[in-house]
Homo-oligomer: A and B are copies of this chain.
Amino acid sequence: MTRLPLHPAAPLPSGPDRFVSPGGRPGRPSVWVVGGTGYSGLEAVRLLRTHPAFRLARIFASPGSPERDLAEIDPGLAPGQARALPWSPALLEEGAERPDAALLALPDEASADLAPRLLAHGIRVVDLSSVFRPKSAGAASPPTPGNDQDPVYGLTEWEAARIASARLVANPGCYATACLLALLPLERAGLLDPGEAVVVDGKSGITGAGRRLEADYLFAEANENCRPYSPLAHRHLPEIRAVLGLAAERPLLFVPHVLPVSRGLMTTVYVRLARGVASGEIAAAFDHAYAAAPAVRLLGSGRWPQLRGVTGTGRCDIGWTADPVQRAAVVVSALDNLLKGAAGQAVQNLNLLFGRPREEGIPL
């Protein structure tokens, strides 16, 4: 297992205010979005169309999918306003107008295939699939497209320095983001009892599952409902374990649930504290981690996030309480699964890659 050397709120490298692209063209870095017809890809398109520092050069459908007018998917777009073009390998050939960066919102296999080819042409990649994310011990290592191109885990608030000089950023999963932002400050500060289980109860809106035509996601099935899925076996679990650096014998119990809301995700984290931890140490750990992080809002002890406070924003809200008698604490984190949980964090990382202010172009 590769334990990531994470740095809380590392100082940002000072970047050039005006980007000069590899080919020498001055002006705004150009970006492609590949996979722009899913919920996350569409959200990235929305952010990049109005981003002051980037030029959204082209939008592509997933490789193998036909051209599509995004107005068919997003009724807020006018017909012809934005099209997802068919992907073609010829786009990368010599002489073609290649972008400075690409944001991939694709299934794992498509990302595993496409990312190395983009990197080989000097295009920086922010990838939203799980294929380049850290795995826990025993799992297969992520593919490494080259010695100097190891993927960097894109948990913005904890990896800013490494992201800024990365070629390939593996954007975290939505649940991993909410869970790690809640747990890392306490774990890194040594406040958790290393002999006790960590319990994470997750709740997310329907879009967390992607835009899939399955009966479970029909209105009449999902409405007025709540159901757990993949209890103790969610696909984000290895990623969370690896980044937290949990010892193999330490239980991490995670059950996500689907709520009848379109957007939004919440994790309720139950932990036991190490002996002698004072309540103020929790607040201090959170302050230390996020004092300089505008996309994480600390509500403080006894004040609680709610989905309505974060949907439509690129922010993660965090609240907590401690119970000294039970030597326990609860941390609740909430974010918009399509923004801080996907496209918003991807744009934070794009900003870092090109020396822009970290939250530029993101609604906070």
Considering the chains assembled together, what is the distance between the CA atoms of A78 and B323 in angstroms? Answer: 25
Q: Give every chain B residue within 8 A of A232 (Cβ-Cβ).
A: 321, 323, 326, 328, 330
A93 to B: closest C-beta gap in Å: 34
Considering the chains assembled together, what is the distance between the CA atoms of A45 and B272 in angstroms? Answer: 42
A117 within 8 A of B: no
Q: Are B224 and A304 in contact (CB under 8 A)?
A: no
A39 within 8 A of B: yes
Considering the chains assembled together, what is the distance between the CA atoms of A220 and B208 in angstroms? Answer: 10
Considering the chains assembled together, what is the distance between the CA atoms of A199 and B75 in angstroms? Answer: 26
Which residues of A from 211 to 233 have beta carbons under 8 Å from B?
Answer: 211, 213-215, 217-229, 231-232
A311 within 8 A of B: yes
A84 to B: closest C-beta gap in Å: 15
Considering the chains assembled together, what is the distance between the CA atoms of A229 and B73 in angstroms? Answer: 17
Quick one: which of B201, B227, B262, B303 contacts A223, CB cutoff 8 A? B262
Binds B, one of A6-14, A251-259, A352-360: A251-259
Considering the chains assembled together, what is the distance between the CA atoms of A151 and B205 in angstroms? Answer: 42
Which residues of A from 304 to 341 have beta carbons under 8 Å from B?
Answer: 304-313, 321, 323, 326-328, 330, 332, 334
A260 within 8 A of B: yes
A12 to B: closest C-beta gap in Å: 23
Q: Are A257 and B251 in contact (CB under 8 A)?
A: no
Q: Are B219 and A262 in contact (CB under 8 A)?
A: yes
Binds B, one of A100-108, A263-271, A284-292: A263-271
Given A304-B229, A309-B75: A261 in contact with B261 (beta carbons within 8 A)? no
A89 within 8 A of B: no
Quick one: which of B220, B225, B255, B304 contacts A227, CB cutoff 8 A? B304
Considering the chains assembled together, what is the distance between the CA atoms of A227 and B268 in angstroms? Answer: 10
Given A211-B218, A219-B262: A297 in contact with B78 (beta carbons within 8 A)? yes
Quick one: which of B224, B268, B309 contacts A255, CB cutoff 8 A? B268
Q: Give every chain B residue within 8 A of A351 (Cβ-Cβ).
A: none
Given A213-B218, A219-B218: A227 in contact with B306 (beta carbons within 8 A)? yes
A–B pairs, 18, beta carbons within 8 Å: A75-B305, A76-B312, A197-B270, A201-B255, A203-B226, A206-B219, A220-B262, A221-B308, A223-B223, A224-B307, A226-B334, A227-B306, A227-B307, A228-B268, A231-B304, A251-B328, A253-B330, A312-B312
A interface with B by C-beta (< 8 Å): 39, 73, 75-76, 78-79, 196-197, 199, 201, 203, 205-207, 211, 213-215, 217-229, 231-232, 251-253, 255, 257, 259-264, 266, 268, 270, 272, 297, 303-313, 321, 323, 326-328, 330, 332, 334
Q: Would you list the 6 A-B pairs with minimal beta carbon distance, nearest first? A: A75-B309, A227-B306, A201-B201, A251-B326, A219-B222, A206-B219
